[in-house]
Structure formats: C-alpha cells, structure tokens
Amino acid sequence: MERRNGHPPEFTVAEYVKDLANRHAITGPRYRRWLWITGLLFLSGVVGFVARAAIDGFDERQPWGYFAATMAFLLTTFVSAPVVAVAFRMAGAHWRRPMVRIAELYSVVGVLVVVMFIPMLFMVPSAHNRRTMWFQGDTLGSMGKIFGAPHVYDILALVAVVIAGLAMLWFSAKADRTQIRSRAGESVGTWLGSWKQWNVLWKGLVMLGGLYFMMLIMTQALISIDFSMALVPGWRDAIFPAQQALASLHGGLAITILTLYLLRRYGHMEQYIHMEHFWAASKILLALSLLWFYFWWSGFIVFWYGRTPLEQNLLDLLMFKTYKWYFYLAFGLSFLAPLLTLLWNSVRRSTFGPTLASVFILTGLLFDKMRVYVAAFSIPNADITDHALAVLPATNIPDVFDLMMVVGGISGAVFLFLLAARVVPIMSIWEMSQGIKLRTVRRFLRIDMIVMGRSE
C-alpha cells in the first residue's frame, strides 16, 4: 500500500499482531552479531574491573572514579528510561505507544547498576563525623545517630527503583506474553483478558509508575549527594541534587529516542514508527535541555558571585581548571548542541534531527558524570572531613582499565536490553492495538488528515 500525502499506509490490529509475533519469534543475523559484540565488550569491562581491584583494591577511591561515573551514567540514562513510559502514559499522549515498551525494557539494566553499586559502598566511609546531609557526628551537632547512613539507605532506594521498574515491565508485558504463547500453541496461563484483569493491569501500571518516578528522583538525589558532593570538602549546593534528578529525565528520553530510531532504521519498523513520534518527543527534549541550563546556572551563579577562596577552588575543580575539558564538553553537548539542533522546526520535524540531539545529550551526560564523580573520587580519604577544599587534586586521566570499564559498562547495559527483547516483545502489542483502533485517515477537502479518537 502506498503512502498518501506523507501518511503511512494503514494496517489492521490483526495484521500488526501477526507481524510483531513473527518478528519476535525470529532472531536475525544483525541481532545475534550485536549480542556477541556487546557481550564481549561487557566481558572486557568485567576483566578491567577485576584487574583494577587486584592492583588497587578498594581502600582508595581515586582509581575508581571512572567506574563510579559509569554507574551514575547508566542510572541517569538506561535505568531512567522507564520514566518516559510513566509520564507519557499518565498524560494520555497517543504518540507514546511505539516507545513505551522500549523505555520499560531498559529497567532490566537496573540489575547491572545494583551490582556495580555494591563495590562503591566500600569506597565511601560512614557519615559519622563528616559533614553530610545525615548530620552524624559527635563534634558536628549530630541530631541523633542514624544506623547505616548513608550506605543502607542509598542501596535500599536504588533497589526499590529497580524493583518498581521490573514490576512495571512485568505488568505491562503480561497481556503481550499471553498473545505470543497463544499463537505458539502454548498454555496462556491465568490471563483471560477480562475487564477486571485489564482494570487491575492499568491501575497497577499507574501505581507502580508513580512509585517508580518518586523513588527515581529520591535515589538520584541521595546518590549524587553521598557519592559526589559529600566527598568534596566545603561543597554545598542545594541545586545540584535537583539538577541530577532532572538529568534522569533528560537522559531517559534521549536513550529512548535513540533506540526508537535504531529500531525504525535497522529493525525495519517504518510502518509503525513515524516522524510524528520524533517530532512530539523533540519538543520535550528541547524543553529539558533548556531546564538543564537553568538548573546549572542557578547553582553556578551562587559560587561565581560568592568568590570566596573555597568557592573559587570548587569552580576550578569542577569547571575551569582540573576537569575543565569534561565541563566544556558536558555543557556544549548537553545544552548548546541540542539547542542549536532542535531550535529549527524543520529539524524537529524529522527522524534524524531529534536522534542527533539525543546522541549529543547522552555523550554530554557521560562527560558530566565523569566531571563530577571523577573529581569527587579524587579527594583523598584524609581530606574529606576538612571544612574547605584547600588544595586541588591532580587531574585523573583514564588508563586502559578505566576505558575498559566505561565501554564494558555501557555495552553490558545494551547486552541486557537485547536479551530482554527476546523475552518481551520490543513493541507493546496491547497499547499499539489500542492506538490502531483509535486512529484513521480521512479525506478533508484536498488532503488526507489523521483523525484520532479518545480512549476514555
């Protein structure tokens, strides 16, 4: 069927379900090739981790700065992707349908992040007698000793995010897995598709989505404070945790758009993934890029105009001397490049423009995590209890083991996503089917227009 006035050809629910079920049952050579590539790179990252642990141990944090930055990057992008499904589903955005399952599938990367986070617990000392958000110390005006701060509460918050994301994926994929098993002649289990089951499914997704969103924001704030800001003497910034939480929305949407483009381009799903999906998402991506600058500027301007020796040292450490190139790249790729790309409507109204902006953003977020976490982990253990940062540490240049862990960690996230896509259909059958029933193309004067119905 040919396109009319730029609109893709129409298809029925039965045609869509049959096509997606056939795609899910077959693993192509490109899929197997990338599974091998990402798996081997992930293995090299494990080798780099083992070598680093054997050579340097866990007593000093400085050798583990890039490992911590990789963990934070995965948390801010891959693990944060399900927030796209949560936000757009609650908003009732029809164009969300091809991308919600992609976003939900990235929740499996949370298992890798939890495993990577465990060694980091041994690198950060207790909050006792340190200036942290936990107010623990005999000489620092303690408000009462809190057991296990910060380690117990940070790991519990992270595990809660991962469990909420996996539960949301399980709920969402329940009906799809039943259809796949039914077409294969297998037992369909307890799912019958009754009104009560659909009602429970939707309410479960809403509650889990709300829990996931709240826990993600809190977890980002806790980890950014305890594993970066609290390690630098004198660094006190009320805006920084909020900026890191905003980066989760930024990175989660960017990785979802990039994956959507790859699925359209190399998964041959042009029939289901259209320009309108990128166009709608690009507007939010542009707004988040502007918000990234706003939050960064709100924190930066306080240090810039304060100009105390401590504040000048912090600016030199994080932005203008020790890790200046990481900051310049993070600022340019997280804000300037997406702004100049998405500023033009003709670029936003394409599939490549928002994807290019997403690549900029993801790269900028990686450099931003390196800027923050490598700098924080460069502070010696003996100095983190000081009142102010007096001496700037030397720049930590990545070595071969650092590069192996960075590349291996990101490859491991992609590897887990590819494995999960073999178990759960990469595009939601039930949500796309609802969208097909609500969408049609009607003639109006001399043009064909898309007509949308209301789901409620």
Q: Is residue 203 part of a domain?
A: yes
For the cut 90, the answer to whether the pLDDT of residue 169 exceeds it is yes
**Token digits for 80?**
């944060």
Number of domains in the chain: 1
Provide the pLDDT confidence category of residue 224 given band limits of 50, 70 and 90.
very high
Looking at the DSSP assignment, which residues form a beta bridge with residue 451?
440
For the cut 60, the answer to whether the pLDDT of residue 133 exceeds it is yes
Provide the pLDDT confidence category of residue 308 given band limits of 50, 70 and 90.
very high
Cβ of 314: how many Cβ atoms within 10 Å? 23
Q: Is residue 262 part of a domain?
A: yes
Cβ of 452: how many Cβ atoms within 10 Å? 11
Contact 384, 233 (CB under 8 A): yes
Mean pLDDT of 128-153: 72
Torsional sign, CA 116, 118, 123, 124: positive
Q: Is residue 341 part of a domain?
A: no
Q: Is residue 337 part of a domain?
A: no
Give the per-residue pLDDT at 186. 65
Tally the C-alpha atoms within 13 A of residue 275's C-alpha that lie toward its C-beta. 11
More confident residue, 288 or 135: 288
For the cut 80, the answer to whether the pLDDT of residue 201 exceeds it is yes
Q: Is residue 74 part of a domain?
A: yes
Mean pLDDT of 201-212: 91
For the cut 70, the answer to whether the pLDDT of residue 335 exceeds it is yes
Mean pLDDT of 241-268: 94
Q: Is residue 15 part of a domain?
A: no
Percent of residues, the chain, with pLDDT higher than 90: 64
Mean pLDDT of 297-303: 94
Give the per-residue pLDDT at 144. 59
For the cut 60, the answer to whether the pLDDT of residue 2 exceeds it is no
Q: Is residue 210 part of a domain?
A: yes
For the cut 50, the answer to whether the pLDDT of residue 3 exceeds it is no
Q: State the Cα–Cα distance between residues 228 and 374, nearest whole angstrom.
A: 9
pLDDT digit string, tens, across residues 24-66: 878 888 999 999 999 999 999 999 999 999 999 998 999 999 9
pLDDT digit string, tens, across residues 421-435: 999 999 988 888 888
Radius of gyration in angstroms for the set of CA atoms belonging to the chain, rounded to a whole number: 24
Q: Give the 3-state secondary structure of residue 441.
A: strand
Helices (H), 228-351: 240-266, 275-306, 309-315, 324-331, 337-342, 345-348
Q: Is residue 331 part of a domain?
A: no
CB proximity list for 433: less than 8 A, separation 6 or greater:
13, 16, 17
CA separation, residue 258 to residues 9, 212, 359 (Å): 24, 22, 7
Query: In the predicted model, what is the mean pLDDT of the chain?
Result: 89
Separation of CA 306 from chain center: 34
Domain extent, residue 385, equals: 27-138+146-269+296-325+376-452
Helices (H), 57-81: 65-76
Looking at the DSSP assignment, which residues form a beta bridge with residue 86?
none
Of 104-108, 182-186, 321-325, the range with the lowest mean pLDDT is 182-186
Give the per-residue pLDDT at 19. 83
Give the per-residue pLDDT at 185. 65
For the cut 70, the answer to whether the pLDDT of residue 360 exceeds it is yes
